[in-house]
Structure 1
Amino acid sequence: MADIESQTIHKETLHEEAPGVLHKGKHPVILKFDDVVYKINDKSGGLFKKNEKVEEKTILKGVNGVVEPGEMLAMLGPSGSGKTTLLTALGGRLGGKLHGKITYNGQPFSNVIKRNTGFVTQDDVLYPHLTVTETLVFTALLRLPNTLTKQAKVALAKNVIDQLGLTKCEDSIVGNTHLRGVSGGERKRVSIGQELLINPSLLFLDEPTSGLDSTTAQRIVSTLSDLARGGRTIVMTIHQPSSRLYYMFHKVLLLAEGNVLYFGKGSEAIQHFSNIGYAPAMAMNPSDFLLDLANGIYTDDANHDHIIDKQKLISAFKSNSDGQLKLEAHHEINGSDGRFQETGSEKWPTSWSQQFFVLLRRDIKERKYESFSVLRIGQVLVVAVISGLLWFKSDTSHMQDQIGLLFFITGFWGFFPLFQAIFTFPQELMMLEKERSSGMYRLSSYFISRMVADLPMELVLPTVFLLITYFMAGLKATALNFFETLFSLLLNVLVAQGLGLALGAAVLDQKSATTLASVLMLVFLLAGGFYVQNVPKFIDWVKYISISYYTYQLFIGSQFHSGDTYPCSEGQCPIEEFPPIKQVGFDLNGQWMAAMALVIMLIGYRLIAYFALMRIGITKK
């Protein structure tokens, strides 16, 4: 049954135009952009200058062009010329002060166009521990609509693997700069494959050959050329292509400081500049010649470099391009009969529950290597054993020691999960932005799955720690006392984790977030009730926001109860009169209040993290 379904999908959805040509796009798209201008605010002055001015800087200065189905446009230009900004604008991913008109078959950018558009970023943002197959299957399960079954989505992922020549490495992990995996070219093809899963009509790529050798780069561009022949519209930025790559491009757009120096057929670019007096003095790579001109340099017959006026090149292009662009615009009006139609009212390709469970499976597969790392487990085990030995068989005759152990556990399991969680969102920000910008899933489904995926390790390690330390240290060996202590510890861990998530999401800079977390946790520890019993009234309020204070209070209540005594100079004294305990107290109402305060923090910190992610704009537009 699965084989029949796979064959049906292959025939209907993955129909090939000819041998070696990848399947066609669903809707041919004519991309047209008229007078595109983009401005940003540029601060002048300095940190210590009073009269700091905010000036507008223009990145794109009236860019025009048309790309039709079956064509591959390469945008060339030196660094800072505006290539990536223009690509991002054309892909519907650029906000701010963007002016001009960008149309797709005569329509403005919309969600339905977004679902038919693929965007490959310059950096391959992939999970390193997932295999090639897992990466593409998880993407298929999230991005493809529910009109396809799970088996059909997996079949599509397998088909993309075959068509991109990834079969030999399909079971290899993707890897990254720190983890050996597939090669750079294979990793780039995986990134392209993620976008091909939706069978896009329009495909954008930001420097797809960056960092690759010439042979691998040619394979990538050759694959893209096959995609274009299947009826897709392909737009890419590229820094300095070889001659072989240059002649694969149907059209070339040359940018310099946000201005268009040339737009048209790549084969006609040299002739255009020769007509205005800038012919190459020797046989050379056309892209090298174009980039020299974009940098304002022209080499004459005597091999001397001359600084040229780029404004002359800009004016020459504008005077010669008006008629051609009008002709292409006319072709767009008469030749485009494919208008995008909404196929349903669903805003997302899959349901919330489907997104949650797929993301959960992916998170567990990816993070199990980090969560169950030998270093992390070894760190906890070593501290547990050393703590057990230092407080070995402590009893009420050494009350200060027992209370010291409880407060040490409070501090250790405040810092440890806090600093583990603080890196969560800063490290995953690029992945989150990439996947959310393509409309893969809701922010809420990602956030909840991320919380649940972390629970096993967040709860297992402190439980193992307590099992070792608790009985070695001679704390009360009854089931009730142990589970009360364990509950208090796990609650402390989850609250500290929530604080880390909130700080990481709010600050997003790992160094700054770590510094802020250190200061906050030290303040919480100092106000926890162990180090200082007589806190001045004007700063006494700090304990009411301290995680350590409430956890320490729960720990005291889990070990000692009203009526217990401890050895003192007068014989046996009530446990509640012991100074550190008297300061905190362990009455039932106080215990419930401490537990409720921690539960409120547990929820509150996570809500702060969620809204912080929304605030920075990682939402579906």
Structure 2
Amino acid sequence: MGTEMIDVESQTDHQESPAIYKKANHPVILKFEDVVYKVEIKKEGCLGGKSSKSEEKIILNGITGEVLPGEMLAMLGPSGSGKTTLLTALGGRLGGKLKGSITYNDKPFSNQMKRNMGFVTQDDVLYPHLSVTETLVYTALLRLPNTVTKEEKVAHAEEVLTQLGLEKCKNSIIGGPFKRGVSGGERKRVSIGQEMLINPSLLFLDEPTSGLDSTTAQKIVSTLWELARGGRTVVMTIHQPSSRLFYMFHKVILLSDGNPLYFGNGAEVMNYFSSIGYTPAVAMNPADFLLDLANGIYSGESEEDQKSVKQSLISAYKSKADRVNTTIKEIDNQLPDTVEDKRFGRWCTTWWQQFSVLLERGLKERRHESFSGLKIGQVIVVSILCGLLWWQSDISNVQDQVGLLFFYSGFWGFFPLFQAIFTFPQEHMMLTKERSSGMYRLSSYFMARIVGDLPMELVLPTIFVIITYFMAGLKLTAGHFFETLFVLLFSVMVAQGLGLAIGAMVMDLKSATTLGSVIMLTFLLAGGYYVQHVPGFIAWTKYISLSHYTYKLFLMAQYTPNETYSCGPNVSCTVGSYPMIKLVGLDNKGIALMALAIMLVGYRLIAYLALMRIGVPH
């Protein structure tokens, strides 16, 4: 392993390089020695259920290697060989039973290292309704430090966009499964551009050519080769590269079932396997030959032959591994340690900056959804239908008015609940990606998400009340109207919080919607409208019911206990004595408001704590 690769100055002859090809600020030597990773797998019981017993499965088994600045390392191997797991471990994103030594310039992973590291996932996790320019600009505003002005951040994003050849599509939206946008190669370049904004010294990429045609894949890898040429350390997984791509890799790791079969220079890999008796029968792409070997395919085709080939290759590499380990230990860190030892703050930007950028980005991304004609039309149609069904009912029809008020609490319990349930499961991958890179605080994201959803969460119920209140003939005074509106908006925010909590805890849309339906139906049944004689052993459910307190406050917004209505020919009764109102009561308004306030805060706190699971292990 010659040390000439460490001389970064000699690796590039273009001093005035484009932004993404400039030299790395702090070149990094990545070393990993005897990396082992295990996971526990639950055994299945005799009836197909999970057993209490578990066994450990080795995903990575003693992987050793090193990558120097200016080098591009490719991890090869069939599906399930451990490539992505190793990449995730080297990127500091893998928790659990990870053993071995992974160092960056002979130092462990740290926030300081994270600032100089880029990680491009296999799936391009991007917002579909943002344009290419908006995607890069918002990333720059969040990831670049405050030592760079906002104008400089925007200019830097545009420069990276240009150098990645994205000018033609800079105003096009990213797109997604149901929205036409940029091509697959352009999406991948946007993902790489997001990481290149911080000028990383160490860049990890998981299957950067997956799903791309050979020409586009060539362009992507050529871009990465130029990045390495600028003194960066580039590490990638790649499944089946063409021969053109293969010969661009400086170093190669070949994995099979978590075991290393080769680590070394890419140009020497065929000579190595020839030296241990494995030579291709015909001229072929080296990558194809290596994948055949990793699958145990050489001369025999039976399963036993495949196992024999794998064991032979593992044993042959182990005999060489001691020499590899010795060579790695002999490589001194000859780079000047340009990164200061002072403690780095964890965040590049302030809480308020993060909140502002995330709020603006969220509003732009979700404007199509929040202001969709379908959602607005749904509310207006239901509003008019309610107004017609309860047309000009008065106090003499107290049963009808009570039914309308309970419908208020039921409909505006379910509607915001199911809108909010989808919030965090849909953004789970994005939140995981951005939190792993240390882009922003969880609290700034959480508050931006809640505040960004408020406009439509409050506008739609307001429209609903304006239409139904006057059509249904409820009390036409400002006090009664605004109190009813306040109660509805208050309950909507509580229901939204419950939806956020369920979505954050479950993170599976099907399970979350099922759980949400069960909870809201329970709340409705315990609300005090359907059942008047509730058995004592289950009567406690009304005290945790959102619908109960909302319904109670709606009644108190319209009626007073001594108010009278016609309950028969020439007979007047007090509203407070009406059975369906008496059961709920027209007193203790403060307790009802306090209960809703506790739910308002409590549900959001539960959602926030549930989201704290999403992040990085370090």
TM over 0.5: yes
Residue 404 in 1 paired to residue 403 in 2? yes
| Contact in 2 for aligned 1:246/1:287 (Cα 8 Å) | yes
Corresponding residue SS for 1:335: coil
Deviates more, 1:126-135 or 1:47-56: 47-56
Residue 609 in 1 paired to residue 607 in 2? yes
Deviation of 1:455 after TM superposition, in Å, equals 0.5
Give the Cα separation in 1 of the matches to 2:50 and 2:41. 16
Give the Cα separation in 2 of the matches to 1:16 and 1:381. 63
The aligned runs of 1:350-429 (5 Å cut-off) are: 350-429=349-428
Deviation of 1:567 after TM superposition, in Å, equals 1.1
Deviations 1:394-418 (A, max 9, x none): 1122211111111111100000000
Corresponding residue SS for 1:130: coil
Corresponding residue SS for 2:55: strand
Residue in structure 2 matched with residue 91 of structure 1 by the alignment = 91
Residue in structure 1 matched with residue 10 of structure 2 by the alignment = none
Deviations 1:59-106 (A, max 9, x none): 100001111111100100001100000000000000111111111111
Corresponding residue SS for 1:600: helix
Corresponding residue SS for 2:36: strand
Task: Go from structure 1 to structure 2 and tell me whether the alpha carbon gap of 1:207 and 1:51 turns closer, same or farther (over 3 Å shift).
Answer: closer
Deviates more, 1:227-236 or 1:309-318: 309-318
Residue in structure 1 matched with residue 589 of structure 2 by the alignment = 591
Residue in structure 2 matched with residue 29 of structure 1 by the alignment = 28
The aligned runs of 1:21-420 (5 Å cut-off) are: 22-46=21-45, 52-299=52-299, 307=306, 308-331=308-331, 333-338=332-337, 340-342=339-341, 345-420=344-419
Give the Cα separation in 2 of the matches to 1:547 and 1:502. 14
Deviation of 1:508 after TM superposition, in Å, equals 1.3
Residue in structure 1 matched with residue 4 of structure 2 by the alignment = none
Give the Cα separation in 2 of the matches to 1:309 and 1:283. 20
What is the Cα-based RMSD across aligned positions, in Å?
1.8
Deviation of 1:275 after TM superposition, in Å, equals 1.3
Deviation of 1:163 after TM superposition, in Å, equals 1.0
Aligned length: 600
Corresponding residue SS for 1:39: strand
Deviation of 1:539 after TM superposition, in Å, equals 1.3
Deviations 1:433-486 (A, max 9, x none): 111111111111111111111100100000011111111111111111110000
Give the Cα separation in 1 of the matches to 2:17 and 2:125. 31
Corresponding residue SS for 1:298: coil
Residue in structure 2 matched with residue 618 of structure 1 by the alignment = 615
Give the counterpart letter for 1:201 in structure 2: S
Task: Go from structure 1 to structure 2 and tell me whether the alpha carbon gap of 1:550 and 1:200 turns closer, same or farther (over 3 Å shift).
Answer: same
Task: Go from structure 1 to structure 2 and tell me whether the alpha carbon gap of 1:80 and 1:41 turns closer, same or farther (over 3 Å shift).
Answer: same
Give the Cα separation in 2 of the matches to 1:496 and 1:50. 35
Deviations 1:169-223 (A, max 9, x none): 1111111111111111111111111110110000000001111111111111111
Corresponding residue SS for 2:39: strand
| Identical positions, percent | 67
Deviates more, 1:310-319 or 1:216-225: 310-319
Deviation of 1:320 after TM superposition, in Å, equals 2.9
Give the Cα separation in 1 of the matches to 2:76 and 2:101. 21
Residue in structure 2 matched with residue 11 of structure 1 by the alignment = none
Give the counterpart letter for 2:41 in structure 1: D
| Contact in 2 for aligned 1:442/1:620 (Cα 8 Å) | no
Deviation of 1:343 after TM superposition, in Å, equals 5.6
Give the Cα separation in 2 of the matches to 1:619 and 1:204. 16
| Contact in 2 for aligned 1:29/1:338 (Cα 8 Å) | no
Give the Cα separation in 2 of the matches to 1:145 and 1:123. 27
TM-score (norm. length: structure 1): 0.94
Give the Cα separation in 1 of the matches to 2:352 and 2:112. 23
| Contact in 1 for aligned 2:29/2:333 (Cα 8 Å) | no
Deviates more, 1:425-434 or 1:81-90: 425-434
Residue in structure 2 matched with residue 526 of structure 1 by the alignment = 525
| Contact in 1 for aligned 2:298/2:309 (Cα 8 Å) | no
| Contact in 2 for aligned 1:17/1:230 (Cα 8 Å) | no
Give the counterpart letter for 2:615 in structure 1: I
| Contact in 2 for aligned 1:262/1:317 (Cα 8 Å) | yes
Task: Go from structure 1 to structure 2 and tell me whether the alpha carbon gap of 1:559 and 1:620 turns closer, same or farther (over 3 Å shift).
Answer: farther
Q: Which runs of 5+ in 1 are unaligned?
A: 1-14
Give the Cα separation in 1 of the matches to 2:407 and 2:142. 44
Deviations 1:533-568 (A, max 9, x none): 221222111111000000001110111124321111
| Contact in 2 for aligned 1:554/1:594 (Cα 8 Å) | yes
Residue in structure 2 matched with residue 3 of structure 1 by the alignment = none
Task: Go from structure 1 to structure 2 and tell me whether the alpha carbon gap of 1:48 and 1:620 turns closer, same or farther (over 3 Å shift).
Answer: closer
| Contact in 2 for aligned 1:113/1:340 (Cα 8 Å) | no
| Contact in 1 for aligned 2:221/2:245 (Cα 8 Å) | yes
Corresponding residue SS for 1:240: coil
Give the Cα separation in 1 of the matches to 2:333 and 2:295. 38
| Contact in 1 for aligned 2:28/2:68 (Cα 8 Å) | yes
Q: Which runs of 5+ in 2 are unaligned?
A: 1-12
Give the Cα separation in 2 of the matches to 1:353 and 1:334. 40
| Contact in 1 for aligned 2:43/2:50 (Cα 8 Å) | no
Give the counterpart letter for 2:427 in structure 1: E
Deviation of 1:339 after TM superposition, in Å, equals 5.1
Task: Go from structure 1 to structure 2 and tell me whether the alpha carbon gap of 1:253 and 1:17 turns closer, same or farther (over 3 Å shift).
Answer: farther
Give the counterpart letter for 1:279 in structure 2: T
Give the Cα separation in 1 of the matches to 2:600 and 2:467. 26
Task: Go from structure 1 to structure 2 and tell me whether the alpha carbon gap of 1:494 and 1:159 turns closer, same or farther (over 3 Å shift).
Answer: same
| Contact in 2 for aligned 1:203/1:234 (Cα 8 Å) | yes
| Contact in 2 for aligned 1:436/1:620 (Cα 8 Å) | no
Residue in structure 2 matched with residue 8 of structure 1 by the alignment = none
Give the counterpart letter for 1:337 in structure 2: P
Deviation of 1:265 after TM superposition, in Å, equals 1.4
Give the Cα separation in 1 of the matches to 2:346 and 2:124. 27
Give the Cα separation in 2 of the matches to 1:618 and 1:35. 26
Task: Go from structure 1 to structure 2 and tell me whether the alpha carbon gap of 1:52 and 1:542 turns closer, same or farther (over 3 Å shift).
Answer: closer
TM-score (norm. length: structure 2): 0.94
Corresponding residue SS for 2:576: helix
Residue in structure 2 matched with residue 10 of structure 1 by the alignment = none
Residue 556 in 1 paired to residue 576 in 2? no
| Contact in 1 for aligned 2:431/2:614 (Cα 8 Å) | no
Give the counterpart letter for 1:312 in structure 2: S
Deviation of 1:342 after TM superposition, in Å, equals 4.4
Task: Go from structure 1 to structure 2 and tell me whether the alpha carbon gap of 1:236 and 1:496 turns closer, same or farther (over 3 Å shift).
Answer: same
Task: Go from structure 1 to structure 2 and tell me whether the alpha carbon gap of 1:321 and 1:539 turns closer, same or farther (over 3 Å shift).
Answer: closer
Deviation of 1:48 after TM superposition, in Å, equals 5.2
Deviates more, 1:567-576 or 1:148-157: 567-576
Residue in structure 2 matched with residue 6 of structure 1 by the alignment = none
Residue in structure 1 matched with residue 8 of structure 2 by the alignment = none
Residue in structure 2 matched with residue 476 of structure 1 by the alignment = 475
Give the Cα separation in 2 of the matches to 1:326 and 1:593. 73
Task: Go from structure 1 to structure 2 and tell me whether the alpha carbon gap of 1:50 and 1:197 turns closer, same or farther (over 3 Å shift).
Answer: closer
Residue in structure 2 matched with residue 510 of structure 1 by the alignment = 509
Residue in structure 2 matched with residue 499 of structure 1 by the alignment = 498
Give the counterpart letter for 1:244 in structure 2: R
Give the Cα separation in 1 of the matches to 2:251 and 2:579. 81
Residue in structure 2 matched with residue 539 of structure 1 by the alignment = 538
Deviates more, 1:46-55 or 1:474-483: 46-55
Give the Cα separation in 2 of the matches to 1:524 and 1:186. 49
| Contact in 2 for aligned 1:75/1:237 (Cα 8 Å) | yes
